[in-house]
Amino acid sequence: MNRAPLRRVAADVRRGRGGARGEADAAIRRHEASDLNAYIAFDAGALRRQADAIDAAAGRGDDPGPLAGVTVSVKDLYALDGYPLYAGTKRALPAWPEGFLVASLRRLGAIFAGKTHTVEFAFGGVGLNPNTGTPVNPWDPVEHRAPGGSSAGAGVSLWEGSARIALGTDTGGSIRIPASATGVVGLRPTTGRWPTTGVVPLSPSLDTVGMLAHTVEDLRYAFRAIDSLARTGDAPADPVPEGVSGLRIGVPASRLWADADSAIAAVVEGALEELRAAGADVLDIEAPELDEAAERYLTGPIVQPEFVEFLQRELPDWIPLLDPIIGTRLEAAGGVPALEYIAAHQHRRRLSADLHDRLDAERIDLLAAPTLPISPPPLATLARLDAYRKANRAMLSGTCPASMLDMCAISLPAGLDGEGMPVGLQLMGPSGTDLELLARAAAVERVLGTNLTRLGMPPRVAR
């Protein structure tokens, strides 16, 4: 698998060396040789045509852009020209126009491999989808394990080698969960940093659009290019990570740690000890807001009513078709009183303000915790609805607090657990500090290593 940095890939293409077609052909070969089921639709012909257009532009002396020839997989929650939009459901939705993130990537020279699987309407953290299929987590050579959701095919497409960037969405953790479960890097930008246009909504109050990649440095490079299109005026200076010396990392006293399996907590603790040895200040901190935010998210007074309102208004004919995994969890959503919904928003804003004040007062740069408290479960153990619900709640519990508190957050590989599955280290930054978070995460990655050096190759990819 060619793991050249995105910056180098794009630079070669921009020099007119015909590199985009080579990238496309390599992605197609890897996809055709894979049995990981990352995609609901993959169009080799369209990918080659996009690549040829990029190479032709570079050959004329035009600059195709800073992401020229970079292959991108797109979660089937995004509108993508030339592809139907199912959003994980049993039939195609009405036509939607492409939105900010896809349009930005086109403008920057990226080429699109296809649409990856998502949980139905993105409503779930396990990654299971009985309608369109569930991608295979490449880290278990025998059992079909959960790939993490709701961006279920995103991390899998990266290991397949058919994409260098994977687009996901993150409402309660749907980028960070599959990043952790499959051993890649996933970023949830601050809520509202980028427009969510062209994406089927789950919860407009909490939805974000973002990306997964193999390394933090690749994410930093792509994020910077996209962010320059989203923001008006002079672009802010890109923070330069000088290393982790003096970085103040808070370890919160919360259920994010208490509820994590001991083997998983030990892996993340080990990673933090490596950072401490490299000069970071790893500090215990009280953060009761994280637990309160998680409970508010998981009891559903915000996400479920917003999702049901969207379905009733825009897609009422899809409601009877919902799989029971989704439908039964929405039965009580219509009964949430308006006052409870408003109070939930007011409460989460107070919690966010309180936590941000504490981080500022104690000069905490980042909060750290396991991304997932459990190992990605085998699908065979989730056949009963109660087992699925328990696993789904657990997989969301580590990531939803940052979402509720409007923080930016990233998951990067910390090691393997006792079952040989990846463990994610989640770093949460204050609202609006996306560039700083990426710079600090890049410094962390230089200490811990990338996923290849930290984890090795997944068994289903290395064979």
From the list 202, 447, 200, 185, the residue with the least C-alpha distance to 333 is 202
**Choice among 73, 150, 403, 431 that is catalytic:** 150
CA distance 362 to 317: 51
Is there a catalytic annotation at residue 115? no
The dihedral built from the CA positions of residue 283, 397, 263 and 37, taken in this order, carries a sign that is negative
> Which residues, 6+ apart, have CB-to-CB distance to 158 below 8 Å?
73, 164, 166, 182, 184, 212, 213, 214
**Choice among 75, 115, 203, 411 that is catalytic:** 75
Is there a catalytic annotation at residue 390? no
Q: From its phi and psi, is residue 127 left (phi > 0), alpha (psi between -120 and 50) or beta?
A: left
Is there a catalytic annotation at residue 34? no
**Choice among 104, 174, 352, 375 that is catalytic:** 174
CA 131 to centroid of chain Cα atoms: 22
**Which residues are identified as catalytic?**
75, 150, 174
